[in-house]
A and B are shown apart, each in its own frame.
Chain A
Amino acid sequence: MNSAKTFKCRTLVGGYTEGEAIVSREAICFYLCDPATGELLDKNHHLRGESLAKKVLVLPSGKGSSVVQLDGLFQMKEKNNLPLGMIVIDAEPVLVSSVYVVETPMVDRVEEDPYSIIKDGDWVVIDGEKELITVTKRS
């Protein structure tokens, strides 16, 4: 694991998780995901058709009303298809409170730009207690 690099971050929703990264450049409304597969259905989103299930998701922010955002995440949780963790750039209150309810670890303020240090398929560890993320480049 020589290529693993560790970065400081800030924990918003606590917990430890690790998994393969998926990087979204656009805000996400989780109501527009298929809970049965975790697939993003949002017509105009660049990740349309990709599954967010059991991955560590990098995203700029959330979008959509409080009720639909929470219910979307909740339905994914019921099918065990939530992302494992989230690294967010611009946390807004609806995203924070909704992600909190479904208990997915979430961090922000990574000391370096997440988009330059994390690519699709990298292995990412989120350690909420230590406020650290570790990125291992995909070999």
Chain B
Amino acid sequence: MMFLSNEEKQMLDGSMGEGVRKAMDMLVALGKAFDAEKMIKVSRTHVALSGQEGDTYWCELLVNGGAHCLVPPTTNPNWDVETLNPIYTVSSEKLFLAARTEDVYRRIGAIMTHCCTPELAGNVPTFGEHVAFSESSATPYVNSILGARSNRESSVSALASAVTGRTPYYGLHLDKNRKGNMVVTVETDLRNAYDWGLLGWFVGMHTGNLVPVVQFSKKAYHWVRPTPEELLYFTTESSTSGAVPMFHLVGITPEASTLETALGGNKIQKELTVTREDLDEVQRLVSDPAGKIHLVLLGCPHYTYNQLKEVAALLKGRKIAEGVHFWILTSFDAIELAKRSGHFDLLKASGVGVVPDTCMDQPCFDGFQGKLNLTDSAKCAHYQKRRGLPFVLRSLSECIEIAVKGEVK
């Protein structure tokens, strides 16, 4: 039987309102399913508000039951109706659902960051903090890179944690489940964030429910520390091709000073070696065949200020090819810095639109269904396939050259 404090019992018996009761009741069901001995307090939450009806319905159910967030969550993007709706037509039904989603998350007390990289800005946990983060790329980042503790939450369970300030104590909240039990040896150079993404995809394909420990052979281990963008591409793609909420990078992540520390005495259940050929194969696997490009979509996950700056530097004032739409999805802080520093205007002059608050997996880009498009994100290419948008996958510098010419050879 799970231990509940008096306050938690009051949440569960309805004396704090029906919305709070429902949220706590869901967490108790989850805790029970995983034999959690108790609830623990969380200090931060992030919800992947999806704009899908089932998710919006749950938030409405809680807020109409009087719930208000005890630990206000930051939110994932929806889409920037103001910027994009005048350009791309969306049905009134979908516009209404977007507005309804906004309204209900505001009423429950969410912090409307509309950003899928809260762990970089806006909601950054410190080492050892217990949190409840949904968004498949953010959960492994806060666990593995920052050393905070979160299970792979769905949007609805993360919202339940935001309302109650609790999560059941199981899984990655416990030391023993965070240790590695699989070893990945990387034998190739990783040149940029794109390569880290390909590596992530490859690791995700082979991990199952293990905790991989990634080490770099001497030959490859001569770069400076990976940047936040590189690490983020790794977490994003390993949680798209698979589900990897926890991993270690030897000598880089905080719970992996050495291979032995990362393994914590666990038996190695699987070993994997990664070569340049493996990374090239991922690109072939995910990318659609070359051709004329209609839309270039960068920023899945949201581009950082550094990446906006990098795009401007690669363009060197050149213009995007006639007829090609080029959007970079970015976070509220990055667009603000780009405006202050002049990069926003530079990009605009080249024909590149920078838009905040927007996820690629929203109805605004559906007009590009059946047309060939271009991205540097395997996650974008993968999920857009389901919406009927084919994507060529290339590194950022290749994307820029292609965008200027308008065609992938």
Interface of A with B (CB < 8 Å)?
A: 10, 12-14, 66-67, 70-75, 91-94, 96-98, 100-101, 108
Contact B156 A66 (CB under 8 A): yes
Interface residues of B in 15-67 (CB under 8 A from A): 25-26, 29-30, 32-34, 48, 50, 52-55, 57-58, 61
A72 CA / B54 CA spacing, docked (Å): 8
> In angstroms, how far is the closest chain A Cβ from the Cβ of B210?
16
Contact A66 B134 (CB under 8 A): yes
Contact A96 B29 (CB under 8 A): yes
Q: Assess whether B181 is interfacial by the CB under 8 Å rule.
A: no
Question: Assuming A66-B154, A66-B155, A67-B50, is B58 touching A101 (CB within 8 A)?
Answer: yes
Q: Which of B30, B33, B34, B154 has a CB less than 8 Å from the CB of A70?
A: B154
Contact B155 A100 (CB under 8 A): no
Contact A73 B54 (CB under 8 A): yes
Contact B55 A67 (CB under 8 A): yes
Question: Assuming A67-B52, A71-B53, A71-B54, is B156 touching A101 (CB within 8 A)?
Answer: yes
A97 CA / B61 CA spacing, docked (Å): 14
Q: Is the interface of A mostly helix, strand, loop or mixed?
A: helix
Q: Assess whether B238 is interfacial by the CB under 8 Å rule.
A: no
Taking CB atoms, residues of chain B closer than 8 Å to A13 are 29
Q: Tally B residues with Cβ within 8 Å of A.
A: 25
Question: Assuming A13-B29, A100-B29, is B54 touching A93 (CB within 8 A)?
Answer: no
Give the residue name and chain of the B residue nearest to A93 (CB).
B30
A107 CA / B400 CA spacing, docked (Å): 54
A93 CA / B153 CA spacing, docked (Å): 8
Contact B54 A70 (CB under 8 A): yes
Q: Assess whether B373 is interfacial by the CB under 8 Å rule.
A: no
A93 CA / B32 CA spacing, docked (Å): 11
Taking CB atoms, residues of chain B closer than 8 Å to A75 are 53-54
Give the residue name and chain of the A residue nearest to B156 (CB).
A97
Contact A97 B53 (CB under 8 A): no
Contact A100 B154 (CB under 8 A): no
Q: Assess whether B188 is interfacial by the CB under 8 Å rule.
A: no
Taking CB atoms, residues of chain B closer than 8 Å to A74 are 53-54, 57
Interface of B with A (CB < 8 Å)?
A: 25-26, 29-30, 32-34, 48, 50, 52-55, 57-58, 61, 134, 151-157, 160
A128 CA / B154 CA spacing, docked (Å): 24
Give the residue name and chain of the A residue nearest to B361 (CB).
A67
Taking CB atoms, residues of chain A closer than 8 Å to B53 are 71, 74-75
Contact B25 A100 (CB under 8 A): yes
Taking CB atoms, residues of chain B closer than 8 Å to A70 are 52, 54-55, 58, 154, 156
Q: Which of A67, A72, A97 has a CB less than 8 Å from the CB of B30?
A: A97
Contact B34 A67 (CB under 8 A): no
Contact B156 A12 (CB under 8 A): no
Contact B32 A12 (CB under 8 A): yes
Taking CB atoms, residues of chain A closer than 8 Å to B152 are 93
A-B contact pairs, 7 of them (CB 8 A): A13-B29, A73-B54, A93-B34, A101-B26, A101-B61, A101-B156, A108-B33
Taking CB atoms, residues of chain B closer than 8 Å to A91 are 33
A110 CA / B33 CA spacing, docked (Å): 13
> In angstroms, how far is the closest chain A Cβ from the Cβ of B101?
13
Contact B29 A98 (CB under 8 A): no
> In angstroms, how far is the closest chain B Cβ from the Cβ of A68?
8
A71 CA / B231 CA spacing, docked (Å): 31
Contact A12 B55 (CB under 8 A): no
> In angstroms, how far is the closest chain B Cβ from the Cβ of A64?
11
Contact A97 B52 (CB under 8 A): no
> In angstroms, how far is the closest chain B Cβ from the Cβ of A84?
18
Taking CB atoms, residues of chain A closer than 8 Å to B157 are 93, 97
Give the residue name and chain of the B residue nearest to A10 (CB).
B32
Taking CB atoms, residues of chain A closer than 8 Å to B52 are 67, 70-71
Question: Assuming A93-B151, A93-B154, A100-B26, is B33 touching A71 (CB within 8 A)?
Answer: no
